[in-house]
Amino acid sequence: MLTELDKEIIASIQGEIEITQRPYLEIAEKLGIGEELLLERMKDLCNRGVIRRFGATIRHQQSGFEANAMVAWKVDEDRIDAVGEKMASLKAVSHCYRRNPTGDWPYNLYTMIHAIDEASCREIAVKLSTETSVSTYTLLFSRRELKKTSMKYFPTNDVQ
């Protein structure tokens, strides 16, 4: 269960941690609590798996990972776990999920692949296909970012 304080803390660390000497002190003061309590509650939220990751988010396009592709795979259900875990073990794969196929969309396994360029993404897909013997798949390169933001949970009236 999340307490009201947990929610307030989540709301105040989901944006930007300032690049200043004492960023947590500023946040704690806004919340009207001590800096030590804030840090203790944050560590607790990490330990409970509520915070998945606490740190810097990098724009890969500006750091050498020029291309990313979502690859949708059509995998026999009776071996989807084995295939999913195999694909997940590759370093170039950042995300790997099973999703239900629907209507005219037959794919049930999804991977995100990151590489230097599109050709490298394609090579990685071929390698994954060969290694897992999954031959039906489609690569979806991102042509344009239309939105990328982080979720704002538990909004307060405070102007952040």
Decide whether 74 or 98 has the Cβ nearer to other proteins.
Answer: 98
d(Cα 107, Cα 76) in Å, to the nearest integer?
A: 10
d(Cα 22, Cα 157) in Å, to the nearest integer?
A: 24
Binding mask 79-108 for other proteins (x = CB under 8 A): -xx--xx-xx----xxxxxxxx-xx-x---
Q: Which stretch binds other proteins (CB under 8 A): 119-127, 129-137, 145-153?
A: 145-153
d(Cα 134, Cα 76) in Å, to the nearest integer?
A: 9
The count of chain residues that interact with other proteins, using the rule CB under 8 A, is 73
Q: Interface with other proteins includes 159 (CB under 8 A)?
A: no
Question: Which residue in 54, 126, 130, 131 binds other proteins (CB under 8 A)?
Answer: 54
Q: Tokens representing 31?
A: 């919340």
Q: Interface with other proteins includes 160 (CB under 8 A)?
A: no
Q: Give backbone dihedrals phi and psi of 70, rounded to 5 degrees, phi first.
A: -90, 130
Q: Interface with other proteins includes 119 (CB under 8 A)?
A: no
- Tell me which residue has tokens 């538990």: 154
d(Cα 61, Cα 78) in Å, to the nearest integer?
A: 37
Q: Interface with other proteins includes 62 (CB under 8 A)?
A: yes
Question: Which residue in 29, 37, 64, 131 binds other proteins (CB under 8 A)?
Answer: 64
